[in-house]
Structure 1
Amino acid sequence: MADLDRLRRLLSGEDTAWLLDRMRRRLANGKPLSGVVTLTSVTQDQRRAVERLLGRRAGTGTSLTVSLDELDTVLRRSGAAPDGLVDAVRLLIGAVPERAVEVAAWSAVYVPLDELVARRPVLGVWRTWLDATGMVRKLAPDPETASTLIMSVVQVLAKLPSDGVGLGRLAAQTTGDAHGLDDGRPLTTLVLSAARVLAGSPPTGDGSAAERRAAWAAVGVHRDELSSSVLCLGLPGGTGTVTGRMLSLAREGGEPCVLTLRQLGQIDLEVGRGLVWVCENPSVLAAAADELGPECPPMVCVNGQPSAAVWRLLDLLAADGAQLMYHGDFDWGGLRIGNALRERIPWQPWRFDAAAYQAADVTGGELTGRPVDATWDRDLRPALERRGVRVEEELVLPALINDLRTNVS
């Protein structure tokens, strides 16, 4: 039980009236009693009163700063207010209006999110979306439930993006429940919206299972080892594993091959330090198969945002010393995919720089979306902004096929 007489001696005097008033206003505005408050033009009596309150020196100078978190701890430990600062202020100034209490409680819910965004500014778009839609309140009926939900969101996002992890394993690691990130759960809704933003997309999807799978894949999460796959062509393979033999047969027949994440566990690639041509769209790989057949050099298609299987195959190739050549769409989405690849594996541009864009004598669609720098070519973004036209891989397909034809080993 709080010691009201002691609280009055500590906080209701003339020299601490400013502090009590600041806390009253915070509660009235629905803000939590945390952080700091500062008084300028402080008197010596006001400084000494705070020193008696905190049990320590309170600095020097013309201003005085008080940590409300420290004050809360002092009041709890001293026994003056075992239930903390909010209870102490309520005892001294009277009942706080219920609406203000509710607002304060909801405001406290979002503090971990604000701290997360401070660490990862890229999530600012997601945070703004949460406020604009009221999504957290839609998913959680009260501040207590919402606080638990938000803490789980922060724990999951601390693991993303991943180098490759199963959805069930991620859920078990972060929530203690292998089904904690199943479709339809409030936690999944919030985490998926953040995952889309981490991948450079808007926080909302189209609601389809394919879109959700792609959103998870964009941050390195696969729903299972069979649903994540990668399209390739011309990889030599080998005789030591089933997957290696599959690749060898596909190359012999000049046919594209789809590999699942499961099949990439142990694999012979036999590419070594040779060239591997990486494209964004399946149409490029299909055209290469049609034009070059068994003579096509090794190719991999990332098929938009790379899946866990794509990452796994590219990692294996890079680890063996393969030289990766990458081409993507000349639009903002294409640049984001290129940036994501370059953050993880080394690659060289394959007609995917400012010079190639400017030389592309084609008529593409209007360039739309949020601009982004190309980490491999600082001139590419300005070139796209000046021209304002997107150039998809299909529009420069003859040049790409010719490169492949002239680089047959």
Structure 2
Amino acid sequence: MADGVDEVRLRRLLGGDHTAWLLDRVRRRLELGRPVTGAVTLTGASLEQRRAVERLLGRRAGTGTSLTVSLDDVDAVVRASGAAPDGLVAAVRVLLGEVSDRSVAEAEESAAWSAACAPLDGLAARRPELTTWRAWLDATGMVRRMASTPADATALVEALVRVLDALPSTGLPLGRLAAMATGDAHALDDGRPLSTLSLGAVRVLAGAAPAGHGSASERRAAWAAVGVHRDELSSSVLCVGLPGGTATAVARMVALAREAGEPCVLTLRQLGQDDLNLGVGVGPVRVCENPIVLACAADELGAECPPLVCLSGHPSAAALRLLTMSATGGAHLAYHGDFDWGGIRIANALRERFEWRPWRFDARAYRSALTSVTGGTLTGRPVDAAWDLDLRPALQQHGVHIQEELVLPDLMNDLAGRVHRSHVP
């Protein structure tokens, strides 16, 4: 009991049923961190409630349906009566028990959530490309939706940072990435909190918005764009003209495809053989974005087609592994893609992993193409081309996107060697 409080007298003054509303108003002010001063009003007061206030204050409480009481007057009465020398706040704490300050509790909880999410701020500072994802987390309240308490959020965020610090990878299985980050190989399974938060960042790293449409193929493509595969069979890459060899069954299969002038689809499983030798050597390997380029090359050039790899959009884990094998073996990579913002983002992501030279994929080639083809209206969010800072201004100036299909004749001429050497990487 508070020092000096006469609880018996205090309950006679304020402890009755007809003054309970008054104590409740004081309690709510204390919970909200508001001062216990000024007046409070009870609408629709009963006669008994009005008489109780009159007895408490020693004067008429007015007429009408509303009852207004000065908290300062009540404070003065309980002090003067000796029931609670420390005033109304002390009286309420004796009658109702300790009252927590909600504002303090809310501030403490907010600070705990901020501390839990602080590693994400550090991550975004280290990797500015994740800034939009970090803002998306706050805008959607995604972390709080995935974790019920700040303590849960702390563990989740720490695992999330470990996942993203491992990206991009060079062909890591999703389960292994999950095990490395959390000790649980299923932590990145669909629907798990860590998977949901990681996917938003993965999409941004791949040049897309953090919220995807969520289909299985979209999720698979997003992970593949940062070098993570969900399994070794669903990830594949399309190629034509790779020499192949005789050391392994896969190398012999590639050699037979080259001899027949046919494209070949290689899975990540097939590309995972340690002794695989596809015979690329130190020669050039051209890389395109769209399968139509590779199909036309096979149709027109057949067995004479030089090594050509197709990304089919964002590079899969299999594509990244094939290009890694080629670059490690000394091959010179040359890339061509769509002249639009998506094409530039794909090329930028590839540039972060490999050294490659543009294959008719710079500002000069874009302006040249505009003189002979009619493209579509350029849309989307602009981005710099890491290999040619003049390309973005050129695209913005003309506002036209040009897909690879529109410049097929020039690409086929390059592959066939029917062009001046200055155009060939």
| 2:239 counterpart SS class | strand
Conserved 8 A contact 1:365-1:391: yes
**1:321 maps to what in 2?**
330
CA distance in 2 between partners of 1:325 and 1:145 (Å): 47
**2:261 maps to what in 1?**
254
**2:289 maps to what in 1?**
280
**2:319 maps to what in 1?**
310
| 1:97 counterpart SS class | helix
Question: Do residues 365 (structure 1) and 384 (structure 2) align?
Answer: no
| From 130, 133, 137, the counterpart of 1:130 | 137
| From 387, 396, 402, the counterpart of 1:391 | 402
Which entry has the higher C-alpha Rg, 1 or 2? 2
Question: How far did 1:385 drift?
Answer: 1.0
CA distance in 2 between partners of 1:130 and 1:217 (Å): 22
165-174 vs 314-323, greater mean Cα deviation: 314-323
Question: Do residues 297 (structure 1) and 293 (structure 2) align?
Answer: no
CA distance in 2 between partners of 1:376 and 1:97 (Å): 53
**1:149 maps to what in 2?**
156
**2:247 maps to what in 1?**
240
Equivalent residues, number: 317
Question: How far did 1:208 drift?
Answer: 0.8
**1:268 maps to what in 2?**
277
The amino acid that maps onto 1:102 is E
CA distance in 2 between partners of 1:342 and 1:105 (Å): 40
| Superposition map of 1:1-400 within 5 A | 97-264=104-271, 265=273, 266-360=275-369, 361-400=372-411
Conserved 8 A contact 1:192-1:215: yes
| 1:181 counterpart SS class | coil
The amino acid that maps onto 1:392 is Q
Question: How far did 1:407 drift?
Answer: 6.2
Which segments of 5 or more consecutive residues in structure 1 lack a partner in the other structure?
Answer: 1-27, 29-93
The amino acid that maps onto 1:141 is S
Distance 1:189 1:407, change over 3 A: farther
The amino acid that maps onto 2:341 is W
The amino acid that maps onto 1:178 is A
Which segments of 5 or more consecutive residues in structure 2 lack a partner in the other structure?
Answer: 1-32, 34-99, 420-425
| 2:298 counterpart SS class | helix
| 2:232 counterpart SS class | coil
Question: How far did 1:367 drift?
Answer: 1.4
Structure 1 runs, 4 residues or longer, greater than 4 Å off? none
| 1:152 counterpart SS class | helix
| 2:352 counterpart SS class | helix
CA distance in 1 between partners of 2:127 and 2:336 (Å): 29
CA distance in 2 between partners of 1:318 and 1:128 (Å): 36
CA distance in 2 between partners of 1:407 and 1:171 (Å): 49
Distance 1:99 1:343, change over 3 A: closer
Question: How far did 1:226 drift?
Answer: 1.5
Distance 1:241 1:110, change over 3 A: same
Question: How far did 1:280 drift?
Answer: 0.6
Deviations 1:92-138 (A, max 9, x none): xx956333332232222221211221221211100111111111122
144-153 vs 276-285, greater mean Cα deviation: 144-153
| 2:238 counterpart SS class | strand
The amino acid that maps onto 1:235 is L
Conserved 8 A contact 1:297-1:407: no
Distance 1:382 1:178, change over 3 A: same
CA distance in 2 between partners of 1:320 and 1:272 (Å): 6
The amino acid that maps onto 1:254 is G
CA distance in 2 between partners of 1:278 and 1:344 (Å): 14
| 1:324 counterpart SS class | strand
Conserved 8 A contact 1:327-1:349: yes
- Aligned Cα RMSD in Å? 1.9
The amino acid that maps onto 1:134 is G
Question: How far did 1:279 drift?
Answer: 0.4
| 1:348 counterpart SS class | strand
Deviations 1:242-291 (A, max 9, x none): 11100011111111100011111232221222222210111110111112
Of all paired residues, the percent bearing the same amino acid is 67
Deviations 1:189-244 (A, max 9, x none): 00010111112110011111111011111111111222211100011101111111
**1:14 maps to what in 2?**
none
CA distance in 1 between partners of 2:230 and 2:209 (Å): 21
The amino acid that maps onto 1:234 is G
Deviations 1:51-83 (A, max 9, x none): xxxxxxxxxxxxxxxxxxxxxxxxxxxxxxxxx
Normalised TM-score (structure 1):
0.74
Distance 1:141 1:388, change over 3 A: same
| 1:163 counterpart SS class | coil
CA distance in 1 between partners of 2:384 and 2:109 (Å): 43
Distance 1:407 1:232, change over 3 A: farther
